[in-house]
Structure 1
Amino acid sequence: MGAFRLLSLALVPIIAVALTASLENSTWDASTAGEVQAEEKVYERFNLYLQEFGNLINTGGHLFVGTAAIICNTLNIVVLGHQKTISPFVYLKWVAVCDLLTGVMMTWQGVMVNLDALRLYPALRVLSYRCQAIVYFIRSTLATSATYIICALGVDRLIAVLRPMKRAIWCTRRRAHITSAILCIAGIIPNFHLLFRVTLEYFPDSKTGLPLPFLTLTEIGRDKQILTITQWSKFLLKQILPLTVMVVTSTWTIVQILKSLRFRKQVNSQKSEKKIQCFGVTIGVIVLFIVTNAPLAFYIFDTSINGQDFTPSYSFSVFLLIAEFIPWSNSFLNFFVYILLNDTFRQDAIRLLLCRKKERHDYVTSTQLIGHQYQGNLG
């Protein structure tokens, strides 16, 4: 009896320790499961907020760029209409028209991608489903056409420097109009694949569950071989070709101008100072295009070679969304390039914004200024 009591007294603390350990393990498992569920809820909530933030950037970016492009290019067209009609201004007018229509498409697309508006208005969902793909195609085509016309402007100014005696024959308004019209049609070529690769499909909204239209790839667009071909062709025709033409023409033009300046300083020092800014606007527009398109071009080049072996997170997708709006800023930033680098354009723009009419003596002075310094502004 004494031995049994001694054994029971020895087992009591062991059983107590075992029960305590079991209770602690169950408590730890329950707390760990609760923490995991809480983290999952926080992550889902964060993704939802990030999705709404992406919607805000997508809608706001389209509306901001589109509205700014409409306003700035309307001013460009009006002010350029008062400039002397030479070939550079013809190209700039065509660029302004393309950018103006691009702004209209950007604004319209900003309305059609607004998730809040799509959730509220069924008619907008139907309209977005029918129109968003064609609007996307037209917008891309207009932007490409404007880029090609800027390339033609650089070539036009290079010809004017290399062959000054034949400038009046080769760099005419008629040739500029014909070239611009052809390049507007040529802008369809790099974007023609969008008609077959991009479509609209309904997907359930993560917030409301409503079916909303989203741009997606067709079965042809998902084919890996076709995807590779279109990526490389788009990269070459929309990035490499324009960048190469712009860099070559601008560099060559500057070199020729510097050579001409050295020669003119020896012959007549009075004309050397006027010629230094003769291609300011052309060079400014080209530099703007290079700066705004080079980062995205490098990213597309890296993706085309190395591929994208990971599924982008919401945060990375938002970053890419912001980066994609940078090249579209060309559609309205050209206005500020003209303001900074062209004195006549700046004076006419200020007069237009202040609603001042041109007086007769102002007109004569402006005409004389263009007659003596039109090469000092745009050639």
Structure 2
Amino acid sequence: LLGYSAPGIEFLADRAFESSPNGNLLAREIAYQWWQALIVPKSPRDLWLKEGFAGYAALLYEESISSEAGFVQELKDTAVAALLHEDKSTIRNAYQLEEYSPEYNSILKSKGAYVLHMLRGVLGDEKFFKLLKEYVYNFAYKEASIEDFKALAEKIYGQDLTYFFSQWIEQNGVPQFQYEFTTYRVKDGFKVTGTIKQDLDTFRMPVEILVETDGKPELKKVEAVGPESNFSVSTFGKPRSTKIDPNQKILRISDEIRVATFIGKGDELKKLGEPTEAIGQYQKAIELNKRSSLAFYRIGEAFFEQRSYQSAANSFREALNGDLEPKWIEVWCHINLGKVYDVLSQRERALKEYQQALDTNDNTQGAQETAQKYIQQPYRYEGTHVVVR
């Protein structure tokens, strides 16, 4: 564990601190003062009221300090974490999983947080935050169940929410959206009409559709019900592209998220000391995205830890020839290639890589200091270790 919260006190592991405290971790652990200590889940089947709520509090903190694009990326990261083991249990039955296991964390913490974000999308900000406040006022120093929270949500929203809680709390499975559309020229501009498709028969959620145009973009919310739902969006400017759920308001699968999920599963296996199985997951990511620099980079790390230096170097080179996402891939590929050459006593080649790392001016995780260190003193293999980025 990186942190532990008890009434009135917080414990954080020393590895949670770098140059500054981990803000997301602090926000989540402090949130347990409300969602664990102040309001106690009535039974193990109600653990979402603790884990999901604390996780979403951390997301709300990130939203308060991030740009809109930055928060969308946080949501994507949360979606990946949620989908790692989403098929292992429903939120309601996740208490049967080993506490704080990868499966427990994926379903109750990550998916649990995302479910609250989706409920916010259904209710709207004003009613959602009113719900959270009244939940605290009504149940402070008491026990609460999911049914209690649902009843309060329905009272504030003024509509039945059985479909929502059934879909996201009592069942598992997430949609994968596909869509087709046609653009028409009309008297006052243009009209985009189309159909949203997904494979969950009982699915029902409000879905945002963004139409990018030559002028102002148009954003419309439609109620998607069942496998197919029609939509129509009017625009003044000529439409250029259409996106479904552009702000990541629905927990869903996509090719991008599926790639990230395979990489996430690989990371889990590598931490468990199963590098061969981890490499298999990274290769699945590459099958979907042949330019995934992150997947190639992770394979390079796994081979390096196994002292398979030729394979490691090949993988780091493939990463440099890929999409270079995230941006830190470039600088750390050069550093790791330098380490490979130092281990193999090819000092001139190592120095060239370290200099290329400096030339990126990217100091993610102290990359510049690390490259300078190995320019001054050759890298020496010191056994395996885990670097969290």
Q: Which protein is bigger by CA-based radius of gyration?
A: 1
TM-score norm. by structure 2 comes to 0.25
Q: Which has the higher contact order (CA 8 A, sep 6+)?
A: 1
